[in-house]
């Protein structure tokens, strides 16, 4: 095939190398507007899983990469003047410039045509003259913007401000510096990428950023590649303790707001998006370059294994979309945690560290215990002590207080709507259903949605609480739960809105009632 790749970042270069390796007959050209040595940023992070994929696809290149990696297994969290170390992580990083040089060398070795300091021809011209056009032109993809009617992008700019910097202080582990300043909380994400330097990302809420006066230089007309030196000098001074006598370096460093990119469609005909052009994930989970290179692995395999461009691109998008959306959910949880870090900085140190490490929901309590049992033991012991317990028991079995209500444990059962009420009145089915859950040991049992009016029901079988008879029927269930168990019981009030006046689930979910005369008016647009 004749293949055009717009963008010479890690994703575009890696795709070119993979495709050429799979079939030397491919004619592949990569256009990159910057020079081969122009690269912005410092280090890039890889997980063990990504490295395994690279090794499976190209053992020789994986071995070359491995010789350049800085590796770590610990995370250091600096909080309230103390360092807290948690182990068992398993990541690797290398300089972005080193990665690009290695990929460029691999492409040249395989015979890929690399055009640097060169703008790609128009997309329509490329589509007409090539079998496949890959837009790997980054988060601000001009290709995506020009074809927005097809790709239907969604751009979500976030409120936090951050700046990508570097330092010649070589960290021994991933670093989170949580710094309290007169203006609010600032945080640093730092990690080593070589024997000579580390990435140093400064992040803070926009309110903190403005209060500290960093907005003074935000509107300066800085050209691409030019750093906000005034802000960098200020950060060098603010983080002197964290830098420990080392330098803070800039490289196209200016204040940014992270933008989450999503697209409804990733390909159109023989045009396909790859990497940040298709999707982004917040830097706090270290997945940007990882996702782009995994895209390249998947796209190369799909093109090699499928007959025809359309089938290959369908397979690529189908395979990658699930993985990317899962990663974006984790990244969203992580970025929102850092956006709201002010809510957590009053917590005891161990609790804060635990919440930071599990913020993306990818690392769970059980997973953290596998990674670092001693830290998990400390979490358990301190949490039990905070609840006034002399012995450590799993948190889910510890008491929980909601206002004046104390639950014996943290197990909450919320049954699904069973559509078994008659005129909104719960009967014996509900007594057995909810009563058995309470007797099973849960601390709190919640009812299904209980409708506030006859018109607020989804189906004729929904429970309600708008008559005295319904009240008395619910009281019977509550009395049973209180008499026969130590559980507490709660009621969910709700209204169907536009979803109302439908059949019972097993008679046709969301279908209108069979007899039009039995339907009731909806509260809906």
Residues 507 and 421 occupy one common structural domain:
yes
Q: In this predicted structure, what is the pLDDT of residue 36?
A: 92
Q: Does one domain contain both 494 and 413?
A: yes
pLDDT band at 43 (very low <50, low <70, confident <90, very high): very high
Over range 398-404, report the average pLDDT.
92
Whether residue 304 sits in one domain with residue 231? no
Domain end position, chosen among 229, 249, 269: 249
Spatial separation of the C-alpha atoms in residues 356 and 84, rounded to whole Å: 12
Domain-located, residue 84 = no
Q: Is residue 149 domain-resident?
A: yes
Going by C-alpha positions, the residue among 116, 96, 148, 115 that lies closest to residue 288 is 96
Question: Are residues 269 and 146 both part of a single domain?
Answer: yes
What is the arithmetic mean of pLDDT over 500-505? Answer: 88
Domain total in the chain: 3
Distance CA 228, CA 239 (A): 16
Residue where one domain finishes, among candidates 216, 249, 282: 249
Residues 100, 162, 206: CA angle, nearest 5 degrees = 160
What does pTM read for this prediction? 0.86
Same domain, 275 and 289: yes
Task: Give the contacts of 172 (CB within 8 A, at least 6 positions apart).
Answer: 72, 74, 192
> Would 46 be classed as within a structural domain?
no
Decide: residue 246, CB within 10 A, 0-12 exposed, 13-18 middle, 19+ buried: middle
Which of 489, 519, 483 lies closest to 503, judged by CA?
519
58 and 137 part of one domain: yes
Q: Are residues 12 and 116 in the same domain?
A: yes
**Which CATH number belongs to the domain containing residue 111 in this structure?**
3.50.50.60
What's the CATH code of the domain at 231? 3.30.9.20
Contacts of 244 (CB under 8 A, 6+ apart): 169
Residue after which a domain boundary falls, among 215, 249, 283: 249
In which domain, by residue range, is 449 found? 407-518
**pLDDT tens-place string over residues 327-385:** 999 999 999 999 999 999 999 999 999 999 999 999 999 999 999 999 999 999 999 99
Q: What percent of the chain has pLDDT over 90?
A: 83
Q: Are residues 182 and 137 in the same domain?
A: no
- Indicate if 104 and 31 belong to the same structural domain: yes
Query: Is 437 inside any structural domain?
Result: yes
Tell whether 91 is covered by a domain: no
Express each pLDDT in 412-441 by its tens digit: 998 788 899 999 999 999 999 999 999 999
Tell me what pLDDT residue 320 has: 97
What mean pLDDT is reported for the chain? 94
10 lies in the same domain as 58: yes
> Do 411 and 289 share a domain, yes or no?
no
Residue 348 lies inside a defined structural domain of this protein: no
CB 154 within 8 A of CB 262: yes
In a domain, 398, yes or no: no
Integer angstrom CA distances of residue 450 from 288, 353, 490, 498, 513: 45, 39, 11, 16, 20
Residue 432 maps to a domain = yes
16/129 same-domain check? yes
Q: What are phi and psi of 446, to 5 degrees?
A: -105, 140
38 has pLDDT over 90: no
Q: Which residues contact 459 (CB under 8 A, 6 or more apart)?
A: 419, 502, 503, 504, 505
Lowest-confidence pick of 54-63, 195-204, 372-381: 54-63
For the chain, the 3-state helix, strand and coil shares in percent, each to the nearest 5, are 40, 25, 35
Task: Check residue 46 and give its pLDDT.
Answer: 85
Q: Report the pLDDT value the prediction gives residue 291, as an integer from 0 to 100.
A: 94
| Three-state SS at 513 | coil
What is the distance between the alpha carbons of residues 462 and 473, in angstroms, rounded to a whole number?
14
């Amino acid at each position: 095939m004749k293949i055009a790749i717009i963008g010479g970042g890690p994703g575009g270069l890696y795709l070119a190398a993979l495709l050429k390796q799979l079939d030397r007959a491919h004619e592949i050209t990569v256009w990159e507007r910057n020079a081969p040595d122009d690269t912005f940023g410092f280090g890039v992070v890889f997980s063990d899983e990504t490295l395994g994929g690279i090794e499976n696809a190209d053992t020789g290149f994986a071995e070359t990469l491995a010789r350049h990696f800085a590796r770590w297994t610990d995370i250091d969290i600096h909080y309230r003047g103390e360092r807290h170390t948690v182990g068992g992580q398993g990541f690797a990083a290398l300089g972005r410039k080193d990665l690009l040089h290695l990929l460029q060398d691999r492409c040249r070795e395989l015979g890929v045509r690399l055009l640097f300091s060169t703008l790609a021809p128009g997309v329509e011209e490329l589509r007409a003259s090539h079998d496949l056009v890959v837009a790997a032109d980054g988060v601000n993809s001009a290709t995506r913007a020009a074809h927005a009617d097809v790709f239907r992008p969604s751009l979500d700019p976030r409120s936090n401000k951050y700046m990508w910097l570097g330092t010649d202080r070589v960290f021994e582990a991933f670093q989170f510096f949580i710094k309290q300043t007169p203006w609010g909380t600032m945080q640093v994400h730092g990690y080593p990428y070589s024997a000579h330097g580390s990435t140093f990302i400064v992040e803070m809420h926009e309110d903190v950023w403005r209060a500290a006066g960093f907005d003074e230089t935000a509107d300066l007309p800085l050209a691409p590649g030019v750093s906000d030196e005034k802000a960098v000098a200020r950060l060098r001074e603010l983080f002197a303790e964290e830098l420990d006598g080392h330098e803070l370096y800039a490289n196209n460093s200016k204040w940014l707001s992270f933008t989450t990119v999503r697209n409804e469609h990733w390909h159109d005909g023989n045009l396909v998006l790859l990497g940040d052009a298709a999707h982004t994930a917040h830097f706090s989970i270290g997945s940007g370059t990882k996702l782009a290179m995994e895209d390249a692995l998947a796209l190369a395999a799909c093109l090699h294994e499928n007959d025809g461009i359309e089938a290959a691109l369908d397979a690529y998008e189908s395979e990658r979309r699930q993985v990317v959306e899962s990663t974006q959910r984790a990244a969203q949880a992580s970025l929102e945690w850092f956006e709201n870090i002010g809510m957590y900085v009053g917590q005891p140190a161990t609790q804060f560290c635990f919440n930071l490490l599990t913020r993306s929901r990818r690392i769970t309590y059980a997973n953290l215990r596998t990674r670092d049992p001693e830290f998990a033991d400390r979490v358990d012991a301190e949490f039990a002590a905070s609840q006034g317990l002399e012995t450590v028991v799993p948190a889910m079995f510890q008491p929980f207080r909601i206002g004046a209500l104390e639950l014996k444990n943290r197990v909450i059962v919320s049954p699904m709507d069973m559509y078994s009420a008659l005129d909104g009145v719960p009967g014996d089915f509900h007594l057995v259903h909810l009563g058995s859950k309470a007797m099973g040991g849960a601390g709190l049992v919640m009812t299904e949605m209980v409708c506030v009016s006859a018109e607020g029901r989804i189906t004729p079988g929904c429970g309600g609480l708008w008559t005295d008879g319904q009240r008395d029927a619910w009281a019977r269930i509550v009395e049973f739960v209180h008499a026969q168990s130590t559980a507490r019981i709660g009621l969910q009030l709700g209204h169907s809105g536009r979803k109302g006046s439908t059949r019972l689930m097993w008679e046709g979910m969301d279908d209108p009632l069979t007899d039009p005369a039995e339907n009731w008016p909806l509260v809906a647009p």
